[in-house]
Amino acid sequence: MKEIILVGSVGLSGTKAIIEKKYNEIREKYPERVIRTAISDVSCGEDISGLFLSEKTVYAKQLGEGGFFAGLWYMSKEINAGFTVDMRRVPIIQEAVEICEMFGVNPYILESGGAWLAVSEAAKDQSEIFEGKSVNMAVIGRLETSNDKKLLCGERVRFLDRPAPDELRKIL
């Protein structure tokens, strides 16, 4: 089975850009500790493609503009497969969510440079490699034979739409 892997956390490079632009407003509402935590995991920005098991990885790309949802959409198109993703498994930092909410921004549609989306036939082996390098990785879903792009949140099922403009445009 081909599983979908997310390395890093979604929305962090966009959250960092929001903080840089709106620091004073954010500082009025949140302590410095929250601000630091919101951007603490942007470190996966370097090229980590060498950590993917090449013979078992059918797709691996760094997320960017349009964020996590755009990355899923383009992954699906590039490898010509649908997917099911459990949104409860998607790594996201709560402090980043709070800063995004402050400005009415959806962190899943926010620039996510530093996070990687991959599809692998060996997610368990891949997990061990990333753990050994102290890199955050989560198996968030699987590919499907249909072209459906399903997002699960508990019992609710939603289908992914075409990518929307990056939420960062609302701020900058």
**Across the chain, where does the E strand assignment appear?**
3-7, 57-62, 82-86, 116-120, 137-144, 149-153, 156-159
Q: How far is CA 50 from CA 61, 129, 141, 146, 147, in A?
A: 12, 11, 22, 30, 29
Cα angle, residue 51 at apex, residues 50 and 54 outer, rounded to 5°: 70
CATH of 3-166, one of 3.20.20.120, 3.90.650.10, 2.60.40.10, 3.40.50.970: 3.90.650.10
Instruction: Look at the block and give the residue holding tokens 């909410």.
Output: 101
Yes or no: say if 12 and 112 are a contact pair by the CB < 8 Å rule. Answer: yes
Q: Tens digits of per-residue pLDDT, 16-56?
A: 999 999 999 999 999 999 998 887 765 555 567 777 877 88
What value does the mean pLDDT take over residues 145-157? Answer: 95
pTM, two decimals, is: 0.92
Q: Domain locations in the chain?
A: 3-166
pLDDT at 47: 65
Q: Tens digits of per-residue pLDDT, 80-127?
A: 999 999 999 999 999 999 999 999 999 999 999 889 999 999 888 888
